[in-house]
Copies of this chain bind each other. A is one copy, B any other.
């Protein structure tokens, strides 16, 4: 088993000092070294298979070239695209992502945050729903920049990249109203998630602007299929029941599907359903889900871009807010309401 090749090995092979090797191999300082020497160094490095030790470099430069990425749960299908967006930009700049799941727990979020601080991450992309001021304060104290992704914050003054959820909700309501619906239920996620609050408020606001629209808001206790199913159950026994439901995300919408199925109701003939996110494979559900498409990959890209910029600037970050457009994708889960009984 061969030893790791160090910078000193390259120096010896090239017949120069290790400092020169360092300069020659770093694009930012390469101009300081003689062209022929540089070539010699690069050749020696290549021949020996030298790969710089990023950790040792980081210790010296006070940059780990890593970024912490906090998501609630990687198995929630909206996050992998976001993470890949983040990774794509980070990679271009030599950074590596440390992806951590918080599972919606503030405790876990703090623990994970500390672990990442211990690894000297240069910044954070935070895509978790909780608005924990703790980590924002701690990060600020340490001068580690944070960018929020797929969620804003009312209490925290941080840069954020979000979808224009309000616009999406308006499109959803308008679509239902055009189809002739007059009784619309909004199945919200828990109020502890900032995204739920934003979307629910948008729903209330728009609903109030439409004449003759009766609405109700129900809060599920999680953004999951089972929670959606359980909370939809409460509504379905009633008479009259809503002819359409807008769900706070696609998982909840899927729960609505299941509850409808359990009650022998058809979608969209009996009840129309609209989701939020356009998660992967939403078009393959039964029926294909009408939903608001949010650009998760783009959010990741933009968030990473802002973060890299903030790391480079290393002053206090301006709290810029980027709002990306969303669009209603009409598929087969929405139709005109059934005739009055």
- Give min CB distance, A188 to chain B, whole Å: 21
Q: Indicate with 1 or 0, residue by residue over A305-334, a CB within 8 angstroms of chain B CB atoms.
A: 000000000000000000000000000000
Collect the chain B residues with CB atoms within 8 Å of residue A1's CB.
140-143
CB <8 Å contact, B284 and A54: no
CB <8 Å contact, A75 and B80: yes
Neighbour of A59 across the interface among B55, B101, B143, CB < 8 A: B55
CB <8 Å contact, B101 and A98: no
Neighbour of A141 across the interface among B2, B53, B96, CB < 8 A: B2
Q: Known contacts A281-B254, A284-B254: does B98 contact A55 (CB below 8 Å)?
A: no
CB <8 Å contact, B87 and A81: no
Does any Cβ of B come within 8 Å of A287's Cβ? yes
CB <8 Å contact, A77 and B74: no
Q: Indicate with 1 or 0, residue by residue over A251-286, a CB within 8 angstroms of chain B CB atoms.
A: 000100100000000000000000000001100111
The A49-69 residues at the B interface (CB cut-off 8 A) are: 51-56, 58-59, 64
CB <8 Å contact, A96 and B96: no
Does any Cβ of B come within 8 Å of A84's Cβ? yes
Cα distance A140–B79 in the bound complex, in angstroms: 34
Does any Cβ of B come within 8 Å of A117's Cβ? yes
**Oligomer copy total:** 2
Does any Cβ of B come within 8 Å of A118's Cβ? yes
Does any Cβ of B come within 8 Å of A34's Cβ? no
Cα distance A128–B77 in the bound complex, in angstroms: 20
- Give min CB distance, A229 to chain B, whole Å: 12
Collect the chain B residues with CB atoms within 8 Å of residue A81's CB.
75
Does any Cβ of B come within 8 Å of A120's Cβ? yes
By beta carbon, the residue of chain B nearest A284 is B285
Does any Cβ of B come within 8 Å of A136's Cβ? no
- Give min CB distance, A277 to chain B, whole Å: 13
CB <8 Å contact, B4 and A55: no
By beta carbon, the residue of chain B nearest A120 is B55
Q: Indicate with 1 or 0, residue by residue over A200-241, a CB within 8 angstroms of chain B CB atoms.
A: 000000000000000000000000000000000000000000
CB <8 Å contact, B118 and A52: yes
Cα distance A80–B117 in the bound complex, in angstroms: 24
A-B contacts, 11 of them at CB < 8 A, read A1-B142, A53-B120, A55-B120, A74-B74, A74-B80, A84-B101, A96-B98, A96-B119, A98-B98, A254-B281, A285-B285
Beyond the given pairs A1-B141, A54-B118, 13 more chain A to chain B contacts, judged by CB atoms under 8 angstroms and listed by A's residue number, are A1-B143, A51-B114, A54-B119, A56-B59, A74-B83, A75-B84, A77-B280, A87-B100, A96-B98, A96-B115, A254-B284, A281-B281, A285-B286
